[in-house]
Amino acid sequence: MLSTYAALLRTPGAAAFSLAATLGRLPLSMAGLGIVLLVVERTGSYAQAGVVAAGYILAAAVAAPIQGRVADRWGQAPVLVAASLIFAAGAGLILATAGGPTTVAMLCAAVAGLGAPQTGNMARRRWSHLLAADRARLSTAFALEAVLDEAVFIVGPVLVTFLTISVAEPAGLLVAAACSCAGSWGLAAHRSSAPPTHRGARGSSERLPAGLLAVVVVAAACMGVLFGSTEVLVVAFTDEQGRPGLAGLVLALWAVGSLAAGVIVGALPAPASPLGRLRATTAVLGLLFLPLPWAPNVALLAAGMLVTGFMVAPTLIAATTLVEATMPPARLTEALMWTGAGLSIGVAPGASLSGIVVDEVSASAGFLVPCVAALAASAIAVAYRRPLPVAHPTG
C-alpha cells in the first residue's frame, strides 16, 4: 500500500510541492482556534471570541473562490504570494486589536480571512495537471492530500494551543503567519508543476455546471455542519461525563480513523462513478452517527467516533474527484475552492445548532445533528439526476 504513495511521490516535483502545500495549509487549522484563544486570554469572553473568529471564517469562505478564479486565469504564484502577505498582515492586525472593540477586531480578522492560505486546493490542481495522462493515479493523489489535511488538523490545534497559552499570546498567530508565507512562497517558487493559465477568451467563457456545482457546495456545507457540530458535541459530552480533558483524545481518534481510511482508499482503484461514491459515503457516515446519542460513556463514544472517522476522508475524496472529473479545466481551481467554501460556511451553523441542542436537551441528543447533516448531503447527491458533464483532460 505504501509503495503506491511512494511511487506517486516520485512524480517529478511532486514531493516538493506537496510538502510546501502542507506547510502552507497548516494555518487553516491554527487561525480560527488561535483567534479564539487570543481573544479569550485578553477578554475572558467566549462570545466575543466567537464573533471575531466568525469574521475570519466568513471572509475566508468568500475569498477562496475568488483566489481560485484569479489563479486559473493568471497563475498560482501571484495569488499565493499576495494571499500569504494579506494573511500575515491580518494576523498582525488581530494581535494589535484583539481585546479592543469587537467590531474592529472582527474586521481585522476578516482581513486575515481574505488571505487565508488555499495551498491544499492549489496542490490538488497541480496533481490534476501532472497526472492528466495517468488518471488512474489521480484518486491516489487526492487521497494523499486528504491524509495530509487530516495530519494538519491533528497537529495544528495542538500547536496553536501550546504556543498561545504556554509560550506567548502572540506566538500562535505569528507562527501561523510564518507557515503561510513559507509554504505559499515555496509552492509559488515551484514553477515546473504549475498548471497552465487560461487568460484568453476560451478560458474566461467556460462556465461551471451550476446545477452540479450547487449540489457539491450544498453537500459540502452539510459536511461543514457535521464538522462544526461534532467538535462542540464531543467537548460537551465529555464535560457532562466529568471527563473534559478527554475531548481532545476523542477528536484525535476521529481524525485517526479518517486518516487511516484515506490511506486505504488511495490505494484502491478510482471509482467508476464519483457521484455514486459520494452518495454512498455520506449515507454510511450518517448511519454511523445514528447510534452515538445512546453512547453511555466516553469510552464507547470514542470507539464510535473512531468508526465514523473511517467515512470522513472517503467522502471528501469522492467530492474532490467528482469536481475534478466534471468541471472545466480552465476553472478547476475555482471549482475546488467553492467546495472548500461550502465546508467553511457550514461549520458555524453546525456549531451553533448543536450548542442549542446541548443547552435545551443534552449533548447525547445533539449527535443527531451530524447524523441528519450527513444524510441530507446524501439526499442532495441522490436528487441530482442529470447526466454528469465530462471535463476535458487537463494539461
pLDDT for 136 beyond 80: no
Question: What pLDDT, on the 0 to 100 scale, is given for residue 345?
Answer: 87
CA distance 109 to 102: 10
Residue 3 lies in a domain: no
CA distance 94 to 35: 8
Same domain, 129 and 222: no
Asked which of 197, 228, 257 is the last residue of a domain, the reply is 197
33, 295 Cβ separation under 8 angstroms = no
In terms of residue numbers, what domain contains 99? Answer: 14-145+152-197
Give me the CATH number covering residue 64: 1.20.1250.20
Residue 236 lies in a domain: yes
Residue 23 lies in a domain: yes
Same domain, 243 and 160: no
Same domain, 88 and 107: yes
319, 58 Cβ separation under 8 angstroms = no
Asked which of 162, 197, 232 is the last residue of a domain, the reply is 197
Angle at 377 (CA atoms; ends 287, 24), nearest 5 degrees:
105
Residue 202 lies in a domain: no
Residue 164 lies in a domain: yes
Q: pLDDT tens digits, residue range 79-89?
A: 999 999 999 99
Residue 394 lies in a domain: yes
pLDDT, mean of residues 320-349: 88
Same domain, 94 and 226: no
Residue 2 lies in a domain: no
CA distance 112 to 83: 9
Q: pLDDT tens digits, residue range 171-199?
A: 999 999 999 999 999 999 999 899 988 76
pLDDT more than 70, % of the chain: 96
Same domain, 340 and 310: yes
Same domain, 110 and 212: no
Question: What pLDDT, on the 0 to 100 scale, is given for residue 351?
Answer: 82
Same domain, 120 and 221: no
Question: What pLDDT, on the 0 to 100 scale, is given for residue 218?
Answer: 94
pLDDT, mean of residues 319-343: 89
- Read off the pTM: 0.85
* Residue 209 main-chain phi, psi, to 5 deg: -65, 100
Question: What pLDDT, on the 0 to 100 scale, is given for residue 199?
Answer: 67
Same domain, 217 and 286: yes
Query: According to the 3-state scheme, what is the secondary structure of 287-355?
Result: HHHCCHHHCCCHHHHHHHHHHHHCCHHHHHHHHHHHHHHHCCHHHHHHHHHHHHHHHHHHHHHHHHHHH
Question: What pLDDT, on the 0 to 100 scale, is given for residue 205?
Answer: 55
CA distance 369 to 376: 10
CA dihedral sign, ordered 169, 62, 312, 14: negative
Residue 255's alpha-carbon distances to 202, 234, 322, 324, 379, in angstroms, are: 41, 13, 23, 24, 25
- Which helix (H) or strand (E) covers residue 36, if one does? helix 31-43
Nearest to 117 by CA among 91, 140, 143: 91
| pLDDT bracket for residue 200 (50, 70, 90) | low
pLDDT, mean of residues 134-145: 85
User: Which three cell numbers mark 145?
Assistant: 492530500
Candidate from 136-145, 202-211, 244-253 with smallest mean pLDDT: 202-211
More confident residue, 49 or 182: 182
CA distance 142 to 122: 12
User: Which three cell numbers mark 316?
Assistant: 471528501
65, 342 Cβ separation under 8 angstroms = no
Residue 192 lies in a domain: yes
Please state, as a whole number, how many other Cβ atoms lie within 10 Å of the Cβ of residue 363.
25
Mean pLDDT of the chain: 89
Same domain, 218 and 182: no
Candidate from 261-265, 269-273, 276-280, 282-286 with smallest mean pLDDT: 269-273
Asked which of 132, 162, 197 is the last residue of a domain, the reply is 197
Question: What pLDDT, on the 0 to 100 scale, is given for residue 364?
Answer: 93
Count of domains for the chain: 2
CA distance 24 to 85: 12
Question: What pLDDT, on the 0 to 100 scale, is given for residue 201?
Answer: 44
Question: What pLDDT, on the 0 to 100 scale, is given for residue 340?
Answer: 87
Same domain, 225 and 189: no
Nearest to 284 by CA among 253, 251, 315: 315
Same domain, 175 and 261: no
CA distance 370 to 272: 28
Burial 299-322 (b: 16+ CB within 10 A, else e): eebbebbbbbbbbbbbbbbbbbbb
CA dihedral sign, ordered 237, 241, 244, 249: negative
Q: pLDDT tens digits, residue range 216-263?
A: 999 999 999 999 888 889 888 988 898 877 887 888 899 889 989 988
Of the ranges 42-46, 196-200, 291-295, the best mean pLDDT one: 291-295
Same domain, 34 and 101: yes
Question: What pLDDT, on the 0 to 100 scale, is given for residue 116?
Answer: 93
